[in-house]
Structure 1
Amino acid sequence: MVEFTERPSHLGPDGEPIPLEEHLDDVRERVDWLVSDDAETPEGNSLPELAETVAQAHDFGKLTAWFQEHLLSDGNADPDGPKHHAPISALLAHYALEARGFDGADPLVGFLAVARHHGRLPDSADYVQRAAIEQSGRIRTLYRTEALEQATHVDETVPELARVLVERATDSAGDWETFHERLSREEASIELPWVAEAACSGRRLRPAPEKLPEGFYESVLQVWSALVFADKASAASLTTRMAIGRDAYRSTPPRRQAIDERVTTLQAENAESDLDPRTEQMNERREDARREVGARAAEFVDDERRVATLTLPTGMGKTLTGLDAALTVLENRGRDEPSDEGRLVYALPYTSIIDQVAAESRELFETGERNERVTVDHHLADTLVSPPDDADDPEEVPDDAVDPEEVPDDAVENVASLLGESWRSGLVVTTFVQLFESLAGPTNSRSMKLPALYGSVVVLDEPQALPLEWWPLVDRLVDLLTEEYGASVIAMTATQPKLLTAGDREPFSLVADPDPYYAELDRLDFVLHPSATAMLPAEGGARNADADSESPGLSYDRASELVADRVDDGNSVLTICNTIDSARELATAVTDRTAPLNVNEAYADLLDSADRPTASVRPERTYRDVVRRRRDDEPLLIHLTTRHRPCDRRHLIRVATDLAEAGEPVLFLSTQLVEAGVDVSFDEVIRDFAPMDSLVQAAGRCNRSYDRSRGRVTVWRLEPPAGRETPPSSAVYGRGESLTKLTAQALATVYDGEPMPEPAVTRDAVETYFELLDRRDVGADEYVDYLEHAQAEQLGRLSLIDERPAADVVVTRTAEERETIEALREAHREHRWEDLDDLVESTADWQVSVPVYPGDDDTLEKLQACERLFPDADRLVLDGRPGRDDGYFDATDGVVIPDTSVEARLL
């Protein structure tokens, strides 16, 4: 008699067989840890029970000798029959669910979860029709030819094992003989109507996605994602014999008390300092806001809406207040219903500010880089969570578990990556891309995040930054979070959009009345330059005659004159442009007019001269060097765009902040990259015309903590840069019925020809702007239809970011960085792939993405001349030293490969 040891699912660390039975039982137990006990199927049945059934069936196809030959040969054999295992296992999952009493579309949930547990979810109805009804194609062959071939083979070779597995999957309500007979019927090779009927209709059973019941896609997501994660975690544990028990799945949110302790410390430090009265007042109002939000967050726990807004002006400490509110919700919810579920997911729009928030969180909560309490997840992050040293429950540790010190480093790293990618920490700092694309149409690996969302609190920081076409889908995905995952969502911003409906109700407000905070936080005036007032509609709603989107705007020479006057007054000035070439042209004009000390070049000199550049050139050193070199009448210029390396941007932003705080006449000229989440404060801010929320975000960088009696934010409209025909504001934000037109209409409601106080714009005009936007019924409703009809393939094609083609260029500026590149190339030559991965990852902070567009022949030609990181790499490498690589890199302008298309000029 054949034993399960002769039908392994995987091979252990020493090549020993891991019985299929053991793996299936392990996956079933892990799925039980992952799916919420309260979750229901579309037909109102128990979703955890459905998921456990699916787990017992998902690898049934591995019983074939053909799969075994494939496994034991390490994938090198060419078996006589089909070695795949998912299709026949999916059919068994469907049968087992029917046998256990699941009706309607419920068995189809299990079918799809198993069918695609090694891939992405498909458009459900279309996939089912191709598998069960269509008379040709590869999918038809998998389910109606090869599945029968495998079933016959199993019946001839290991029928006793098949009986055991089917009995377990059906909980003794079904049997192998019945399932085999169902696949063996003559008509089964033609059609499988029992699979198709829930998703197809008509005499010929055509795809009918509208036939799928409400909640179908949500159930598929929950079961499939749990199965994917459980399957991978089981494989990792069994093949390494590492103990990845339930303790590794639990979250440990940071202590909310750490925030109270931080505030108490800051208050004590402030009491010993000679603070300006207005700064003291602002600190008091920040604390007032935090306490109010905390008290209302405790009330929000019992509110059935599960969606809240947190609306406060920029500079009011929203990050700390938002963390406090979210942890308050988690703690209060856990008091009444203790649960393993629940973590804090903090999502932001921009990768550039995630590391800053993560660093602040680690400092606040005193965690390490790989602590189980905090992880960072974005496309450049090394997302790792170290597994617990010991499981809380000894029963969770396999009898044959190995000593952790004996596990190879790469296995430990793989497990840490698995736990990191599945968001097993207590606090996850991530992007909107990772959160919402994972909820909509996730890849196989991204799906592992979803079980972590049960019972969690999700903070959306600056939700107005979400693309307008995604707004209806995001609202629907938030419903999915609250209804299916029992999560609470907090939308946090100074410019609250009418985005989340909370089930057609107003979301719960964590600030009872935001107006007093805006009224008291009156730090600056908004000034409209004549080039901007030309955009405003005249009385009666008609636009000014010169407000056409193609009107010239302010010249760069005149703009540089205005900037020079402000710097001559001794002010620190932040100027934000809409495009890279616009920022470069203004930087050139300002340099010609003011002859500044170029901080970018001073930093480059320090990098060139340091013995250990990366370690020794810190922002403090650059600051001291610049102050030492500056002449009495000399302004300081810093120029940054996304063509500068991330590490250089962080360095120079810190230098700019220190110079501004010291009262130095610094001119910081940038694109939108400094607009949100960057803690800088300038006497004056000048912003090229943009949508209302961008203007308010820019204003948040002015007189942030009452550094002077009153700040000034000037809004102008720049002309097209050289070689362009369209003003930057129109090139970026559209023409005609554009967001800038709505901004002009909103500003016109508060502008009377005089400077506008901060609350008039940040509160009154903002509300008008979002009301106008709401009337336009923005967004792509078809995205919501994709979700309602379980069209995962269509959802998977959507992206929150504009995925335009780009070349990734690694720029080296120090001897140490050049040594890393040589070590990387040596690792490639010697086929040390693990070392290579680590070294490539270490270059992410030196990487600049350069857009490449069809027809952009100049850029293509120049990029082709650049050296590749290694022969088969997509990344290019530039030597950033002066005179190297034909001057493709410049300390002031960054990567300067010509941009020949309008699109290439964006942030």
Structure 2
Amino acid sequence: MDLFGHSANSAGQRHRLDDHLRGTERRARRYGSRFAAAEVAGYLGRVHDVGKGTCAWQDGLLRAEATGSRVGIPHKHAGTLLAHRAGLGRLAGVVFGHHGGLVSRACLREELRAAQSEHAASVQEAIDRVAAVVPEILDGPGLPGWVHGAYAQDDLVLDVLVRMVFSAVVDADRLDTAEHLNGLPRPDHPVAASDLAERFEAARQELLAARPPSPVDADRDYVYAQALAAAQGPQGFYRLPAPTGSGKTIAAGAFGLHHARRHGLARVIVAVPFMTVTEQNAGVYRGLLETGGGAPMVLEHHSGVDFDAPGAPGGRWARLAAENWDAPFVVTTTVRLFEALFDRRPEAMRRLHRLAGSVIVLDEVQSLPDAMLVPILSMLRTLTEFFGVTVLLSSATQPAFFDLAPLKEVAARDVIAEPKPLYERLARVSYTWWSDPAPTVEELARTVAQRPSVLTVCNTTAQAQRIHELVAAHRPQDRGPVLHLSTRMVARHRKDTIEEVIELNRTQSEVAVISTQLVEAGVDLDFPEVYRAYATAEAMQQAAGRCNRSGRLERGRVVIFHLAAPDGTGASGGGEFVYGAALGATRLFFGPGRARPDDPEVLHAYYTERFKQTNVEGRDTAALIQQARREGDFPRVAELFEMIPETTVPVVYVPERYDHDRERIADILHRLRNGAASAHLLRDLRPYMATLPRGYATGKAAGLMVPVVGDLYEWIGDYDEHRGIEIADTKEYVF
């Protein structure tokens, strides 16, 4: 009797079970070979659907094919038991979780018990029937030899191995199934990152020839040359410490591609903390790698990408490649990268095997959250030591990660061997400290209003809104516009405003911009003067990176201010509410009579002290994550790991300037409220999402935030055409 794994496709052909098992095995074996686990991954692909061999499941498939319903009969126990009998231990959970996600060891033990008791008859029936056509299911390979030694050193290695093999099997299963359903093969991308270095070099030369010269070009060339030289080194950890505006984006891409060529690596993955910077960097890399047409090379993957939108980069290819990062060059967010690494769900983890044998560039690495540093750095170390990964840490303010326990015994190579002279040459700004006496918010606004072209960066949205309001009131009519940027504006409004500011900068037109911290990491703005509320050292330096960025002035001017409290009790920039204990460490090293925020030696001392004050190595949540990883409790890890604490919720609003979209957005909200599938609809809403503190829904904004679905709300209150959502009775710390 023929056994089938999937119902008939559009050509009327059913998917033979033996073909599916062997097809999945072939792909999983190929993916597993990247991390010396080809036999294990192939075997688990071979047995993952053995449970479909029972008469009951086969009959259920025929019913489902006739009625359009689901089969509804569990089929995971047989393959799980075979993997267990083969001595694969926790890796048996790969089979059991290939649809619903990785489970805990306790759950896996219970399911194995059930496979040998109440499900024993159906499990044995499936094994016997499938073994008649695929006898190889009875021959398990055992654990890879390297795992025994690695596991003896560190049981976290097994955690990553399970994740990687799970990813390989899930991706292989999905691809083999899709090939049957679509009737078309879906081969892997034909180009590897190791093939792209020369293309990148040629495109960079064309870019430089077409661009007007800049006073910082010589230093950018120096950084680039150092990146190319470092790329010839062995795999492992690298640091790229270079000032803002020194060409780190292009230098990091060049390092990744030349390092890939040196070691035969398949892809470069660039992870950036903010979506605006992700979009910007992806555009840069596309311009360098997709010249002259041909197949797409750069996959941009984050929550703001609508792959189905007209003109979306990559089109259908990008939508499919995003499922499993099948591209030689991937630009994503750090949130998407690390939440996938610590997730348990198949669709989130499907792309992980693509990390093996790759270069991971972590841009603006100072933005990684202190609370999650221990598990993040531990994960990166395992990837570099056992899975053929090289990690490049890129930042103008390199954190002292290698003083922390996960990396304390790891040697990092510096792309710039002596960065201090580079920082001194590229010190394009002078710092002024405005704190004694501290200005009132009115005094600050009057001063900023008189400056021809100026950026003011605030610590809170309320502070930014109030200062914008005052600057707009005091700015002379013959000066340029007063613009605002914060997450209270919907995403499309923010993006359009950033593009307007960039164009005003390009034409050297006057403009005053009042913003929150969202402009600080990599957004390509260039002002002669920047005012920054006192904040952590890295935040102040990142703000300074928006000042005299092109080096056309002898010195730009950065003013760090504290604001006087309205009641005269003291001064603050509001940073305590944003940065917490990290601000205390900043005060020890940076300020009037102390170091500049761009001194790399003092920055190292600052990070060392900061990590002590914020108790990075003693945090309960991080310890619990590491414990759960050692114990194989995948659901617990996914529950505890959180890159961005969920203190805010998204709200949807269509400003008047986008009134042409109002009816369409209203229809989407209506459909979501009536139970429509949400994934693609939420993607359509993202351009019109802003964020508000979670507690506002039951507090000061009660009645103005109307629930839609889950944590999503519709905003029905005021929306200022410049500042976005405004709540009149806000009591946020604004001075």
TM range (shorter): 0.7 to 0.9
Match of 2:277 in 1: 353
Distance 1:767 1:67 in 2: 61
Distance 2:431 2:154 in 1: 53
Distance 1:711 1:78 in 2: 67
Match of 2:157 in 1: 215
Q: Per the alignment, do residues 814 and 9 of structure 1 end up closer, same or farther by CA in structure 2, a change over 3 Å counting?
A: closer
In the alignment, structure 1 residue 891 sits paired with structure 2 residue 716: no
Q: 5 Å matches for 1:587-736?
A: 587-594=468-475, 631=477, 633-718=478-563, 728-734=574-580
> Is the CA contact (8 Å cut-off) linking 1:683 and 1:703 kept in structure 2?
yes
In the alignment, structure 1 residue 224 sits paired with structure 2 residue 62: no
Which of the numbers 322, 346, 349 marks the counterpart of 1:447? Answer: 349
Kindly provide the amino acid, as one letter, of the partner of residue 261 in structure 1.
A
Using the TM superposition, give the Cα deviation of residue 63 of structure 1 relative to its aligned residue in structure 2, in angstroms.
1.4
How many residues are paired up?
Answer: 711
Distance 1:376 1:818 in 2: 28
In the alignment, structure 1 residue 119 sits paired with structure 2 residue 4: no
> Is the CA contact (8 Å cut-off) linking 1:370 and 1:384 kept in structure 2?
no
Deviation larger for 684-693 or 842-851: 842-851
Match of 2:179 in 1: 237
Deviations 1:529-555 (A, max 9, x none): 125xx9xxxxxxxxxxxxxxxxxx643
Kindly provide the amino acid, as one letter, of the partner of residue 127 in structure 1.
C
Q: 5 Å matches for 1:458-537?
A: 458-500=360-402, 504-530=409-435
Could you say what secondary structure the match of 1:491 adopts? strand
Using the TM superposition, give the Cα deviation of residue 78 of structure 1 relative to its aligned residue in structure 2, in angstroms.
13
Match of 2:633 in 1: 791
Structure 1 stretches lacking a partner, 5+ long: 40-46, 99-106, 134-141, 175-208, 335-340, 386-411, 535-552, 597-630, 879-884
Match of 2:75 in 1: 85
> Is the CA contact (8 Å cut-off) linking 2:80 and 2:93 kept in structure 1?
yes
Could you say what secondary structure the match of 1:227 adopts? helix
Match of 1:29 in 2: 26
Match of 2:654 in 1: 811
Distance 1:172 1:479 in 2: 30
Deviations 1:693-742 (A, max 9, x none): 101100000111123221111111235699x99962111122xxx11111
Q: Per the alignment, do residues 658 and 76 of structure 1 end up closer, same or farther by CA in structure 2, a change over 3 Å counting?
A: same
> Is the CA contact (8 Å cut-off) linking 1:12 and 1:240 kept in structure 2?
yes
Q: Per the alignment, do residues 330 and 239 of structure 1 end up closer, same or farther by CA in structure 2, a change over 3 Å counting?
A: same
Distance 1:816 1:307 in 2: 49
Which of the numbers 598, 607, 627 marks the counterpart of 1:770? Answer: 607
Could you say what secondary structure the match of 1:806 adopts? strand
Deviations 1:18-40 (A, max 9, x none): 1111110110111112112552x
Kindly provide the amino acid, as one letter, of the partner of residue 365 in structure 1.
L
Q: Per the alignment, do residues 318 and 73 of structure 1 end up closer, same or farther by CA in structure 2, a change over 3 Å counting?
A: same
Q: 5 Å matches for 1:104-183?
A: 107-124=88-105, 126-132=106-112, 142-151=114-123, 154=126, 159=128, 161-164=129-132, 167-171=135-139
Deviations 1:520-576 (A, max 9, x none): 112111111125xx9xxxxxxxxxxxxxxxxxx6431122133234x1xx3x11100
Which of the numbers 403, 412, 420 marks the counterpart of 2:322? Answer: 420
> Is the CA contact (8 Å cut-off) linking 1:362 and 1:368 kept in structure 2?
no
> Is the CA contact (8 Å cut-off) linking 1:376 and 1:383 kept in structure 2?
no
Could you say what secondary structure the match of 1:811 adopts? coil
Distance 1:699 1:650 in 2: 21
Could you say what secondary structure the match of 2:563 adopts? coil
Distance 2:222 2:441 in 1: 44
Q: Per the alignment, do residues 647 and 342 of structure 1 end up closer, same or farther by CA in structure 2, a change over 3 Å counting?
A: same
Q: Per the alignment, do residues 705 and 214 of structure 1 end up closer, same or farther by CA in structure 2, a change over 3 Å counting?
A: closer
Could you say what secondary structure the match of 2:169 adopts? helix
Distance 2:224 2:510 in 1: 34
Deviations 1:633-687 (A, max 9, x none): 3342111111112222222223223334444432110000101111111111111
Distance 1:640 1:21 in 2: 57
Q: Per the alignment, do residues 513 and 57 of structure 1 end up closer, same or farther by CA in structure 2, a change over 3 Å counting?
A: same
Work out which of the two has the higher radius of gyration on C-alpha atoms and give 1 or 2.
1
Deviation larger for 633-642 or 513-522: 633-642
> Is the CA contact (8 Å cut-off) linking 2:648 and 2:691 kept in structure 1?
no
Could you say what secondary structure the match of 2:559 adopts? strand
Distance 1:791 1:368 in 2: 49
Q: Per the alignment, do residues 8 and 293 of structure 1 end up closer, same or farther by CA in structure 2, a change over 3 Å counting?
A: closer
Which of the numbers 214, 218, 226 marks the counterpart of 1:292? Answer: 226
Could you say what secondary structure the match of 1:310 adopts? strand
Which of the numbers 253, 258, 264 marks the counterpart of 1:323? Answer: 253
Deviations 1:455-486 (A, max 9, x none): 11110101111010111112111112212320
Using the TM superposition, give the Cα deviation of residue 437 of structure 1 relative to its aligned residue in structure 2, in angstroms.
1.8
Q: Per the alignment, do residues 369 and 675 of structure 1 end up closer, same or farther by CA in structure 2, a change over 3 Å counting?
A: farther
Could you say what secondary structure the match of 2:654 adopts? strand
Aligned alpha-carbon RMSD (Å): 3.7
Deviations 1:35-61 (A, max 9, x none): 12552xxxxxxx321222212211111
Could you say what secondary structure the match of 2:421 adopts? helix
> Is the CA contact (8 Å cut-off) linking 2:48 and 2:95 kept in structure 1?
yes
> Is the CA contact (8 Å cut-off) linking 1:810 and 1:843 kept in structure 2?
no
Which of the numbers 543, 555, 562 marks the counterpart of 2:447? Answer: 562
Match of 1:618 in 2: none
> Is the CA contact (8 Å cut-off) linking 1:454 and 1:485 kept in structure 2?
yes
Distance 2:57 2:447 in 1: 74
Using the TM superposition, give the Cα deviation of residue 67 of structure 1 relative to its aligned residue in structure 2, in angstroms.
2.1
Using the TM superposition, give the Cα deviation of residue 854 of structure 1 relative to its aligned residue in structure 2, in angstroms.
7.3
Deviations 1:401-424 (A, max 9, x none): xxxxxxxxxxx9988644322100
Structure 2 stretches lacking a partner, 5+ long: 143-150
Deviations 1:731-771 (A, max 9, x none): 1122xxx11111110115xx438xx7x6x744343233123
Deviation larger for 852-861 or 469-478: 852-861
Kindly provide the amino acid, as one letter, of the partner of residue 282 in structure 2.
A
Distance 1:369 1:900 in 2: 52
Match of 1:859 in 2: 701
Distance 1:288 1:709 in 2: 20
Distance 1:821 1:503 in 2: 51
Q: Per the alignment, do residues 452 and 898 of structure 1 end up closer, same or farther by CA in structure 2, a change over 3 Å counting?
A: farther
Distance 1:313 1:234 in 2: 47
Distance 2:607 2:381 in 1: 21
Kindly provide the amino acid, as one letter, of the partner of residue 816 in structure 1.
H
Could you say what secondary structure the match of 1:489 adopts? strand
Which of the numbers 46, 53, 70 marks the counterpart of 2:60? Answer: 70
Could you say what secondary structure the match of 1:668 adopts? strand
Could you say what secondary structure the match of 2:362 adopts? strand
> Is the CA contact (8 Å cut-off) linking 2:48 and 2:76 kept in structure 1?
yes
Distance 2:35 2:610 in 1: 38
Distance 1:35 1:799 in 2: 28
Distance 1:368 1:902 in 2: 52
Distance 1:210 1:896 in 2: 57
> Is the CA contact (8 Å cut-off) linking 1:438 and 1:447 kept in structure 2?
yes
Aligned residues with identical type, % of pairs: 25
> Is the CA contact (8 Å cut-off) linking 1:579 and 1:732 kept in structure 2?
yes
Using the TM superposition, give the Cα deviation of residue 285 of structure 1 relative to its aligned residue in structure 2, in angstroms.
1.4
Using the TM superposition, give the Cα deviation of residue 224 of structure 1 relative to its aligned residue in structure 2, in angstroms.
1.1
User: TM-score of the superposition, structure 2-length normalised?
Assistant: 0.87
Using the TM superposition, give the Cα deviation of residue 69 of structure 1 relative to its aligned residue in structure 2, in angstroms.
3.5
Could you say what secondary structure the match of 1:35 adopts? helix
Distance 2:166 2:601 in 1: 46
